[in-house]
Structure formats: C-alpha cells, structure tokens
Amino acid sequence: MIIGQLEGYISQAGKIALQKGAKVVHCEDTEQAIGALLNGKGADLVMIDVKQKIGEFVERLKLERIHIPVIACGINNDARAAVKAIQQGAKEYIPLPPDSELIGALLAAVTEDNNTMIAGDAVMKDVVKLGDKIAPSEATVLITGESGTGKEVMSQYIHRKSKRGNGPFIAVNCAAIPENLLESELFGHEKGAFTGATARRIGKFEEATNGTLLLDEVSEMAPQLQAKLLRVLQEKEITRVGSNDAVKVDVRIIATSNRDLEAYVKSGGFREDLYFRLNVVNLRLPSLRERPTDLPVLAQFFADKYADANAVGRKKISAAATQKMKSYGWRGNIRELENTMHRAILVSMEDEIEADAIHIDTPGHLSVVPKEAAAKAESKPVQNSGAVESLIGRSVAAVERDLIINTLEHCLGNRTHAANILGISIRTLRNKLNQYKDEGVNIPASAAGE
C-alpha cells in the first residue's frame, strides 16, 4: 500500500514494486488508507510520504489490530524527517527517487517473513531437498497434497530459489474464478472483446513474464480452457481474448492440485496430455499427520505470529496443549492449525496457552487416538452425539445468531477477538449485533477499551 503523492516519485516506487511481482494499492492520505484496510484491502507493507500523519496512522493501526510494517519515504535524504518518521513508528526510512534494488530488498524481506518454510521433520526435509534441487531449472512443477498442506508456500519457496527469483511471482486460483472469466484473467483481453471490456487488459501470463506463474488448483479448470493452456505451454505464446495476434511469453509454470490427478485423468476430468506437460517434476507435500515433529514448531510459529498481529503478549504452548494437538488428526492440515492457534492466542487466559484454548474437539473431525485411550473411551457415553441433529428445524439465521452471541460471551464481550474467531470483519459483527439488539436480543457488554 502506497500513501501520498511525493511529486510522482511514489508512483515510480509503485511501478518498481509491480515489476518485482507485488500488487499495489494507492491511497491519497491516511484516512483513505485506513478505510481501505478496514474494508478488506489487505497489505503486507505500507510505504508512506513523511508529510502524512505517520504517528496518527501507526496508532490507528494498533487500535484496529492491523499489523503491517510501515516504511516512510521522503524526497532526497532528509535526516530530520527520517528521524521524526522513525520516532512516530515507521520501521524504516527510504529516500526518493526510489532505488530499485532497495525496494526489491524490502519486498523480499516481507515475502520471507510471510512465507517461512518450517521443515524439521525428516519427511518434509526430503521434499524441501528435492525443491532445492529442481528450483534453479526451468522445469514445470506439479505440487500435490491435501488442502492446507502449504502448496502455495512451497511454490513461492521454489520461485525465490530459482533463477527467476527477482522476477514477478503471480498466483491464479483456478477454482475461485468463474469459467467465463478465467480465460481473460490468464490471457488478457482487448477492448470490446466482450460486454464490459472497456479497455485492453494484460493477463497473468504477460504479468508473469520473466518470473513464475502459479496455477493454483489447476485440476478445477474447465476442459476447453485446459486445451488452450496446453497450447500455451507448447508454443510459449498466448492470444488475448478478442485478438488474433499471438504474444510471446517467458514464464515458468508451477501448478498445484489437492486431487489424485492420475485418477482424475482416468475418469476423464483432466486432459492426459496436459497432465504430462505439467507433471515434469512432482512434489507431493505430506499432510500434517505425516510430519508430527513439525507440529509443535508450526503451532508456536503461528501463536507468535498472531500474538504480534493482535498486539498481545507472546505465549509458550503448554505441555497439555501440545499433547492435545498431537492426538488430533488435523484434517485441514497447516491451514487448520494456523486458524486454531489464531483463536488460541486470543482466548487464552493463562501464562501459557492452555489445553482449553485449543478448540479442536468438534464433531465430525478425524482424531488420532492411541489404542489404549480408544479402548477406555468405548466404555464412556458419547458426549454431544446429537449436536448436528439439534440444529435440524432451525433457520440458518437463528443458528448464526446463537453462534455469534455465544462466541462473544466466550470472549468476555471483546468484539475484536470475537470477530477474529468467527472469521468476519469487526464491521460485520457490529452490524449483526445492532440487528440483534433491535430484535430485542440481550447482547453481552463490550470489553473495556472497546
């Protein structure tokens, strides 16, 4: 996120960031920036004009529990402005006009922080060793594994280790984009190519030139588009929607899938020739269940990450909490562990993260239970066996209301913590609570300071 004008130099910095593979959001001032962040425009790094109200901006970020490094920028090397910016909470000061290598280093540092590769378990070490070996090549890589195992993190790791590491890394989620829009997203389109195409748009293949293009969940791509992708991989050129002119592209392809692609090919869901074209090198990421020694390290990493992000003190994980996590199956893998530790750091009431703060004993989840414990459990009555049945006959709105109110009570009225646990914005939570209040529902009082 870039805040301010700086006589056009700041836009130059934005162009450099784009060339390095970053996505850029520009805001005129700090109020607009806060509004954008609160409305879902996420950012991993802020570059702000020293003439802006940096101190107020940093304090507002803390108040809203938004954790983003802030870098101040100023024309030429103004020592007094730099010192003032640092005193107001900026992490660094960089002079403008911008230096390409300096901005590249900043972006690389942010990428490194956000994509830490934890691989202490022997199974994961072997995968990383193979990744290190093939990273410098130009080979297409297919990364497979269950959902939540870190396929995109591995993709970024390979990109950073490759000869294209200084080029852009562009990711496209093939499962999240509607079929009729994915072709334009990948290959771009010309003005007037379809209704609403008011200008030429460069596609992701062209954006990724001299870098890496990640086709996330490539197995969800429609058959017609699979044929076009195969041609692009063979000819190394694309044709924008609405054009007849071919455009040469120089990208390395990394694709991911959580399916058994060989079986999917046999069933006719995915083209065999495209599968072989993508599967030059296959990296299978193990599930969290297969790398048990990494579990405590990953859990502590996420606990520290979200303690910092929510401006609360870091805590160690208790032995009881660790044991509880080790006995669980983690069907959602690392992604589920991350969400669990985010909740845990928010609701923990002890000096260490206690077992009760680890909310994983939900019906329907796979648990890994020792045989002796399983034998004892057989003699005990099943707890909460009718949890799902008890919801039948109730409206979705009523169930949602109870979930929100109960979560708020669990957080002792803390709106921010409740919103984080529920996975919704604080604004959405407040709107819901206002609605319930109008309906005569008793709302838990706000926590102190909110």
pLDDT tens figures, 114-135: 556 788 899 999 999 999 999 9
Contact present, 153 and 294 (Cβ < 8 Å): no
Q: Which residue has the higher pLDDT, 45 or 371?
A: 45
Q: What is the pLDDT of residue 370?
A: 44
CB 162 within 8 A of CB 136: yes
Which stretch of 148-157, 346-355, 403-412 has the lowest confidence by average pLDDT?
Answer: 403-412
Range in 12-21, 172-181, 373-382 with the lowest mean pLDDT? 373-382
Q: Can you tell me whether residue 289 is helix, strand or coil?
A: helix
What are the structural domain ranges in the chain? Answer: 2-114, 127-284, 289-378, 393-438
Give me the pLDDT at residue 167, please: 84
Most confident residue range from 70-84, 173-187, 223-237, 400-414: 223-237
pLDDT, residue 374, reads 41
The highest-confidence range among 30-39, 78-87, 144-153, 160-169, by mean pLDDT, is 144-153
List strands edge to edge, sheet with 2-3. Answer: 26-27, 2-3, 46-49, 70-75, 92-96
Q: Bigger pLDDT: 361 or 225?
A: 225
Place 365 in a pLDDT band, splitting at 50, 70 and 90.
Answer: very low
Q: Cβ atoms within 10 A of the Cβ of 16, count?
A: 19
- Asked if the domains at 289-378 and 393-438 fall in one CATH topology, the answer is no
CA dihedral 177, 179, 184, 190 (to 10 degrees): -140
Low-confidence winner among 103-107, 212-216, 350-354 (lowest mean pLDDT): 103-107
Amino acid residing at 269: G
Domain 289-378: give its CATH code: 1.10.8.60
Q: Is the pLDDT of residue 8 over 80?
A: no
pLDDT tier for residue 283 given thresholds of 50, 70 and 90: very high
Q: Across residues 44-61, what is the average pLDDT?
A: 88
Domain 127-284 sits in CATH 3.40.50.300: yes
CB atoms within 10 A of CB 92: 16
What are the residues facing 141 on neighbouring strands? 254, 281
Strands (E) in 38-168, as ranges, are: 46-49, 70-75, 92-96, 141-144
pLDDT bin (cut points 50, 70, 90) of residue 426 is confident
81 pLDDT above the threshold of 60: yes
Grade residue 382 by pLDDT with cuts at 50, 70 and 90: very low
Question: Is residue 194 predicted with pLDDT exceeding 80?
Answer: no
Query: For 2-114, which CATH class?
Result: alpha beta
- Phi, psi torsion values for 39, nearest 5 degrees: -100, 20
Is the pLDDT score of 380 beyond 80? no
Radius of gyration of the chain (CA): 25
pLDDT of residue 376: 42
- Predicted local distance difference test score (pLDDT) of residue 384: 37
Higher pLDDT, 331 or 18: 331
Output the pLDDT for position 367.
Answer: 42
228 pLDDT above the threshold of 50: yes
**Arithmetic mean of pLDDT, 316-326:** 95
Task: Determine the pLDDT at residue 383.
Answer: 37
- Whether 215 shows a pLDDT value over 80: the answer reads yes
% of residues, the chain, pLDDT over 70: 82
Q: Model-level pTM?
A: 0.60
Does pLDDT of 24 surpass 50? yes
Measured distance CA(136)–CA(165) in Å, rounded: 9
Q: Cα dist. 243→178, 194, 246 in Å?
A: 21, 11, 8
Supply the mean pLDDT for the chain.
Answer: 82
Q: Tell me the average pLDDT across 14-41.
A: 77
Superfamily for the 393-438 domain: Homeodomain-like (1.10.10.60)
Whole-angstrom distance, CA of residue 110 vs CA of residue 102: 13
The 10s digit of each residue's pLDDT in 255-273 is 999 988 999 999 999 999 9
Q: Amino acid letter at 397?
A: A
